[in-house]
Amino acid sequence: MNKVMIIGAIRAGKSTLTKALLNKELHAVKTQALNYEGWIVDTPGEYLENPMFYKNIIATSMEVSHLIFLQDATRKISNFPPLFGTGMSKLPIGVVTKTDLPEANPEQAVKWLKQVIGKAPIVMTSAVEGIGIEHVRQLVQCNSIDEMRAYVEQANDPLVFFS
């Protein structure tokens, strides 16, 4: 089975997405260290927000096949450096979280993700509402960028598209 690491800012929804992907009860948690649950590695938001921890992200990426770059649609900034996702040779997936909230700006979140991951699939999600979760699961099962592109085309759903 493929494994994925979720990278995103503090309170962006990494742990909530992890729980949704694993069909577990959703409740907020503060991840203090790498958290391995099944086929998912949940990273602390500090790993992204403090460049001193980038080496931890890069080292941990060696353990997985896919990387989820998670952008909270309610945030006013992106914490990802430009092209951050292109520096690791893993299959990237962009995920926009909290798209169901009234203050969400998913269009801006998508623009930021495109600057981070280059050409890759992006999924619009709400873990609380269960929106887009199955698309993320399916993309993690793909073994190449071509398989991911084929999945997105076959899905024919505005919640998942190629950047």
Report whether pLDDT(32) > 80.
Answer: no
The residue ranges of every structural domain in the chain are 4-146
Q: How confident is the model at residue 30 (pLDDT cuts 50, 70, 90)?
A: low
Q: Write out the DSSP string of 81-138.
A: PTTGGGGS-SEEEEEEE-TTSTT--HHHHHHHHHHHHSS-EEEE-BTTTTBTHHHHHH
Give the pLDDT confidence of 35-93 residue by residue, as tens digits.
Answer: 999 999 999 999 999 999 999 999 999 999 999 999 999 999 999 998 898 889 999 99
Give the pLDDT confidence of 142-160 residue by residue, as tens digits.
Answer: 999 999 999 999 999 999 9
Report whether pLDDT(34) > 70.
Answer: yes
Domain 4-146 sits in CATH at 3.40.50.300
